[in-house]
Each structure stands twice: as structure tokens, then as C-alpha cells.
Structure 1
Amino acid sequence: MYKKLFSAKKIGSMEVPNRIVMTAMGNHIANEDGTVSEADIAFYGARAKGGVGLVITECACVDFATGKGNLRQMSVDDDKYIPGLKQLADEVHKYGSCIAVQIYHPGRQGIAEMNGVESMKSASQTECQCVHQPTHEMTTDEIKEMAGFFISGAKRLKEAGVDAVELHGAHGYLIGQFLSPYTNLRTDEYGGNFENRMRFLDEIIDGIRKECGDDYPIIVRYSVDEHMDYAGHPECGLHLQDGVEIAKHLEAKGVDALDVSAGIYETMNVAWEPVGFDQGWKMEGPQAVKKAVQIPVIGASVIREPQYAEQVLEEEKCDFIGSARTFFADPDWAVKAREGREKEIRKCISCLYCMETLMAADLSPVPMGCAINFQGCRESQYNDDTLKKDGNGRTVAVIGAGPAGMEAARVLAMRGFNPVVFEKQEQAGGQIVLASKPPKKEKTGWLVEYQKHQLEKLGVEVRLNTAPTMEELKALEPYAVFVSQGSKPI
């Protein structure tokens, strides 16, 4: 089953055991000094254990002092980070997976006050229309220094035993700011024509080759199309034909793989899509790049189902299936697909709770999380292996078979309790049933499908069309009663 999806393929000297890539995603769980945390090791280890072939970490800072995106982010700008990175690599390798660390600087999309500067470095003095931070055009000396930060960061990754480095040139961050004519308005050797706009990235690649050798895999993630039509400026930025030219250029430079994405902060919806975007909607980008180059192409496009992933590979639209949220929602996605347990996959519903909590994490007591996977980012505290199995068959009544009630029943059953679920409606799902009915909201219903299958698998009794009386509840002699009678509109 899924022969293509579970076939091995090389990226340079690195052999990836399958075509499944967890692409980079911020998680706000690193230590405050930029070192790898126990939570990081548990988080990425869970995805490797779950069968992901290549795990790519969140973007790590090459300049932690003035180039953070948030206050809990991994860094590679000092040798003190090497031991933690080695621990992380060892954890991922334990399960037979490969690991790459993505490195970056936010440039104009960073927050000046957070980074202790008056203005953020950028290719040009152009303000991001999303974060609205002051910026300044980098001097030649600043550019050379920054390239050195990327190069030394990659060297530390190799020393730590990380299999590959990914340079983050997508989504409007600093490297991308040099690549795009929308953000690069320079008139010197780093701006203007195509060759000049590529120069900053070229110098980083050349430096990494010199320091790390020709056999250390370099992956470049970039936006093949910035989709500025979504921001009302269709004439601006990078378009698909530009992205294809970038791909050809990077292949000629000796890059080992291309991780093809789209968008910048001003067109954020095409990078971190809300529920209305269909599975595979932007595969034309990776497909166009694959037709133009011989090196492997990682394609991300709201891919959620293994059947669709296999189809994309068979149609040769890309070489590797990339996603971040897919594996945030279910770290065991790959194992379940390989074993033919598709109904057990907890598919990401594109609700963007992860992005909501990540963007607010520095100012909120609520940690980053996943709306449908409570364990996400909390693997070091909550995991199935350490879950108490103390139910001893005791009965627990659960009133309401919406998402909260069904999740309660699922975990209670895993702990060895005997949950009995009461639902006054004729079907389970609660308000999610209604929420999934509008056009383009169908993915929301995936949660109900998953939960219903879980309860069936665990043998949980669900009594539909039943609103229990107090006498009926007492008759069960329940150890506890969970009241999950529905949320209220905000």
C-alpha cells in the first residue's frame, strides 16, 4: 500500500527512508536562551517515531540577539547550542528518520522591540504591511556579516550530527526579501537584476560548501510564487515563472533539494492556509519546479490524506510530500498510513488554532497548541506510553457526544475506564456537524469522523437520542460524570 510514499530517496548524500517530510513549523517550546529543550526533543522525536522520513525543525536563529521571531526559538549562532542540537539529532535518528534544521533571520517581518533594535535589517527600507515594523536597508558590511552567520550556523549543525541544513528563503523572511523585487529595491550589487538579487543566497551557499564540504546536504525553502494578487498588487513580487528560474539557478549552484512553498506575510493565507483552501490547491508550483530541475522537490499544499499524497507522487508533481500541520495534528500519520489504518488518522482541519496560539504565545499564558491534538507541544508531559491505566473497568458517564465529550470518552477508555456516552441528538458530533456544512468547511467534519471511529475501536457505548435523567445516571453507579453539553457562541 502506498508504494511510492514509502519508497526511499536520496537528497544529496542523505538517504531519506520514505517520501514524507515534516516541514518547518514554529512551536514556541525552545528554552528562553535558544537552546533545545526537553519539549523540543519529545516533540520532534514523536514525529520521527511516528514514521516521518525527514523531520525539519522550526526555523532556528542565525542571530539570536537581533533576529528572533519569538522569545522561545532555537538558535545556532553559538557553539553552546551544539550539545542540545546533537541530543535532538540523536533522538530523531533513534527511530531511523533523518533530520534537517531550518535556519533564518526574519528581517522586516521581525519585531524590533523584541529584538532590542530600533529597526529590523532588510534588503531595503520597506515596511511589512502585516507587522508594520521600522526597517533599514542593510549595508554591504551587514550583508557579509549576516551571510557569515548563516554559514557558521550550518557548520555547527554538521558538527552536531544534523543530517542537512535548510535555508529559509520562503514566506518573506530575510533571504526571501533579497530574492523578491517587491522587497528588494537596492541599486547595488545585491539588487536590481535577477543575478544581483540571488547574490546574498549564493554567497551563503558558497560559504556553506566551503565550510561543510560538497557532501553536506543543503535544502533551500523558497516561495515559488508570492501571490501578491491576494494583497491587491498582482504586478508585484515573485511569480511562478520567477520561481522556476530561481529553481534552475539553485540547482546550478549545487543545492541538493528545493522545498517549494508560497507567499509572504502580506499574503499569509497562501502559506498557512485556512480551511477554505482545497487539498493540493497550489501543487502547480512544485510541479512546475520539478519539470525544470533534476534535484528532488519537496511540495507542500494542504496535503492531509495518504491516498492523495500517493497520487501526487505518482503524477510526478513532486518527489517528497511536505506538511507541518498534518504531523502536528497526528504525529503517527505515517505509521497509520503504512499499516492501512487511514480511519485512525487525526487529519488536520486547517482551523489555524496553531497559528493563533503561536502568534500570541509571547504575550499569552496559553501555550501554542493544536485544537484537535492536546498532546501537541506537550509530548514530554502527556504521551500514550505514560498515560495512567488506572480505570479498572469503572463506569464513567459522559453527557454530550460533541468533540469534547468524545475526546473525554476516548481518553477514559484508553485509561481503562468504561465510559458511557449520552447524546440527546440522533447523531454524534455536536455543533461540529453544523460547522462542517457551509461550502469549503468540509474538513471540520474530519474531526467527528476520527472521533467516532476511535470510540468504535475502543468499544465505547454511545446512547443516541438519549438525555439521561438523574435516576438513569444513578443507576450506572458511575465513578464520575463528565458534563460536555456544548460550547456557547463567543
Structure 2
Amino acid sequence: MSHLSKGLENCKLELTNRLVFPPMATAKSDNGMVSKEMLDYYDEKSKGGYFSLIIIEHSYIAPQGKASKGQLSIAEDCNMEGLKKLAEVIHKNGSKAIMQINHAGSAAKMEVTGYENVSPSAIINPLIKSDLPKELTKEEIKEIIEYFKVAAKRVKEAGFDGVEIHSAHSYLLDQFYSPITNKRTDEYGGDVLGRIKIHLEVINAVKEAVGNDFPILLRLGACDYKEGGTTIEDSKIAAVEFQKAGIEILDISGGLCGYMVPDKVNEQGYFSEITEAIKEVASMPVILTGGITEPEAAEELVASGKTDLVGIGRAAFKDSMWAKNAIESLK
């Protein structure tokens, strides 16, 4: 049996293999609601259960945090019927289903949301190049934490197997994590521990909503790859704290650089230096996504101990049979 075909031990999520279909925005929702087109898409991608874990694209927790038109909503109770159907489609195909919940912060645009965009500090988003955002007050931070809590409760009630908190790709929690976009002088700014204070409060609030037995994942934009931005050392500190707080799986991606790594776009598993470093200090499983297109490369990344789970994004987007073919080719 290949390393990819093995499941994870000591994990609340009972996964049959190491392959993950990562969250990728499809813009297939119908004004935030689950559409037939979206159900068909996830049915196709999860067919056969060859991806042990399917992470649904980021869903906005509040109208102000909507990132784009066509984005899925977890902000309203009226979407629950559709979300239940979405979980059922994936389950009937044999995969576990996770919903990713998000607030776009300064990456949101008023023409999409109808609201002024917000951020930890009044700094233009360097990745999205949006309007100058309003700096959040402490009271507004508490409101956003509550939005995450209520959204996570909906995820559980819809029948999903866990929830993933989005803190990557220049969205709100990532904006708090990065010293480039977080210049606050209160307890939500400063060193790494200050900049992840909101993360820890979101995790605690989500746990209150879903209980200790419902898996909570976190996608971390671990490094900005920009001068003055987050570093691997920051991610190691953050990872330890997230594990203490109860994160079940840490999903690694980019920060203000987006989901790519400068100068490494042709390297398979280009965030592997980060996952490898995090595995030295934390024992929770990590997901590595980034440019992995060949089964042999995925197998080697797991076998070498650089990651526990492998996310296959663009390759699986292009070829829905990628996971099936990969598992069969490595037997």
C-alpha cells in the first residue's frame, strides 16, 4: 500500500487516504445559495470517494465579508436546505465533507457587498488592491467572532464532518496575522501572539458552538514572502498555539502572496518548507497544497514526512479522475 492510500491515526476525522480536494472558489452559487450546478460539481469531484476529504470553497459568514459575486453563503439560515444537500452529495460518494468559513475584510468590495470594507488597520490590501478599509474597533471584532461562531453552528447542523476557519490569501484573519496589514497597538496587534489573538478567540467561539468532538481545521497563510511580512518562524509559533486551542488539522497555504509562492511556481508542493518546519514543533496533521500534479510527487511528499495530507487543486479541477488514477497507479 502506498503512503497516500493510508488513513490518518489519532484524528477525529476518519480518513481512508491522504488525498484532499482543497477549497477552490467556483462562483457557482445562486446569490449565495447552493445551486444545482454546485451540487453537480461537487458530485463529480467526490465521485467514488477517492478524495478522502472534500473541503468546500470559502463561504462568507456575513454580508460585509463577502469576497465576490457567486460566493457561497453560510450567513443565513435560509441556505440550510441547500447546504444539507451539498453534504449529502459528498457523503453518498464516500468522502468526508468540510465547510470553509471566511470573512474577506479589506479584500471585499463595496460594489459587491454594499458595505464599507474593514481590516485590522486602515491599510489597502496589497494583494487585492481594494479601497482604503476602515480600521475595526474592538466591539466590531467581537461581532465578527460571533459571526464565525454562528456560521460554524450552521455547518454542523447542515451535516458536515467539520469546519475550516480561513486565515489565508489576504482575507480578514490573514490580515490580522500579517504585520504588513496589522499595525494595531492594542492586544490584537504587535507580536505573533497578539496578531493571532483573534484567531484563538474565533477557535474558542467555534468550539462553544460545535462542541469538542466536531473537528475544527484552520487554513493558515503561513508566509507572506514579502519584506516585513510573516515568516516560517511566525507560523511555527502560531501552529503551536492553534494546536493548544484545539485545531484538529492545519491547512497550509500562502498569506499576502495568495496561493502561489514567488520563484517556486514550477515546484510541486511549494509550501513544503513550511509544512516540514511546522511538523517539527506541532503534532497535529498538516495539509500541503500547491502545484502538485503528479502522483509520484504527492507520494514522495508524504513518504518523506513533509506533510500528512496532500491537497490536489488545479490538477483535480482539470481532471476529476485524478485521485482515482493516482491511487490505482501507486498500487
Using the size of structure 2 for normalisation, the TM-score is 0.95
Match of 2:189 in 1: 191
Superimposed CA distance per residue, residues 407-458 of structure 1 (whole angstroms, 9 cap, x where no aligned partner): xxxxxxxxxxxxxxxxxxxxxxxxxxxxxxxxxxxxxxxxxxxxxxxxxxxx
Relative contact order (alpha carbons < 8 A, sep ≥ 6): 1 or 2 greater? 2
Cα distance in 2 for partners of 1:274, 1:329 equals: 23
Match of 2:204 in 1: 206
Match of 2:248 in 1: 256
2:229 to 217, 224, 237: 237
CA drift of 1:275 comes to: 9.4
Match of 1:109 in 2: 107
Superimposed CA distance per residue, residues 348-368 of structure 1 (whole angstroms, 9 cap, x where no aligned partner): xxxxxxxxxxxxxxxxxxxxx
Match of 2:56 in 1: 57
CA contact (8 A) 1:124 1:184 kept: yes
CA drift of 1:269 comes to: 6.6
Name the SS for the 2:78 alignment partner. helix
2:308 to 287, 303, 319: 319
Structure with the greater alpha carbon radius of gyration: 1
Q: Does 1:270 align with 2:273?
A: no
Name the SS for the 2:288 alignment partner. strand
Matches within 5 A, 1:348-363: none
Cα distance in 2 for partners of 1:212, 1:26 equals: 25
Superimposed CA distance per residue, residues 194-218 of structure 1 (whole angstroms, 9 cap, x where no aligned partner): 3221111111111111111101100
The AA in structure 1 aligned to 2:123 is: T
Q: Does 1:9 align with 2:1?
A: no
Name the SS for the 2:112 alignment partner. coil
Superimposed CA distance per residue, residues 129-173 of structure 1 (whole angstroms, 9 cap, x where no aligned partner): 342312011011110010000110000000011111010001111
CA contact (8 A) 1:29 1:73 kept: yes
CA contact (8 A) 1:111 1:131 kept: no
Seen in structure 2, the aligned counterparts of structure 1 residues 276 and 141 have a Cα distance that, compared at 3 Å, is closer
CA drift of 1:321 comes to: 0.3
Matches within 5 A, 1:41-440: 41-50=39-48, 51-63=50-62, 65-117=63-115, 119-129=116-126, 130-228=128-226, 234=227, 236-264=228-256, 267-268=257-258, 270=260, 276-340=265-329
Seen in structure 2, the aligned counterparts of structure 1 residues 112 and 18 have a Cα distance that, compared at 3 Å, is same
CA contact (8 A) 1:11 1:257 kept: no
Cα distance in 1 for partners of 2:156, 2:72 equals: 16
Query: Alignment length, in residue pairs?
Result: 329
Identify unmatched segments of 5+ residues in structure 2: none
Cα distance in 2 for partners of 1:207, 1:276 equals: 36
Q: Does 1:28 align with 2:27?
A: yes
Seen in structure 2, the aligned counterparts of structure 1 residues 195 and 227 have a Cα distance that, compared at 3 Å, is same
Cα distance in 2 for partners of 1:121, 1:5 equals: 41
CA drift of 1:277 comes to: 2.3
Name the SS for the 1:114 alignment partner. helix
The AA in structure 2 aligned to 1:255 is: I
Name the SS for the 2:165 alignment partner. strand
CA contact (8 A) 1:227 1:270 kept: no
Name the SS for the 1:25 alignment partner. coil
CA contact (8 A) 2:4 2:19 kept: yes
Cα distance in 1 for partners of 2:251, 2:266 equals: 20
Name the SS for the 2:276 alignment partner. helix
Cα distance in 2 for partners of 1:340, 1:178 equals: 42
Cα distance in 2 for partners of 1:15, 1:136 equals: 42
Seen in structure 2, the aligned counterparts of structure 1 residues 241 and 275 have a Cα distance that, compared at 3 Å, is closer
The AA in structure 2 aligned to 1:194 is: V
CA drift of 1:337 comes to: 1.6
CA drift of 1:92 comes to: 0.3
CA contact (8 A) 2:170 2:258 kept: no
Seen in structure 2, the aligned counterparts of structure 1 residues 36 and 133 have a Cα distance that, compared at 3 Å, is same
Cα distance in 2 for partners of 1:45, 1:120 equals: 34
Name the SS for the 2:73 alignment partner. coil
Name the SS for the 1:127 alignment partner. coil
CA drift of 1:341 comes to: 8.8
Seen in structure 2, the aligned counterparts of structure 1 residues 334 and 126 have a Cα distance that, compared at 3 Å, is same
Identify unmatched segments of 5+ residues in structure 1: 229-233, 343-490
Cα distance in 1 for partners of 2:148, 2:72 equals: 14
Name the SS for the 1:15 alignment partner. coil
Seen in structure 2, the aligned counterparts of structure 1 residues 341 and 204 have a Cα distance that, compared at 3 Å, is closer
The AA in structure 2 aligned to 1:132 is: S
Match of 1:425 in 2: none
Q: CA RMSD in A?
A: 1.8
The AA in structure 2 aligned to 1:48 is: S
The AA in structure 1 aligned to 2:191 is: N
Name the SS for the 1:28 alignment partner. coil
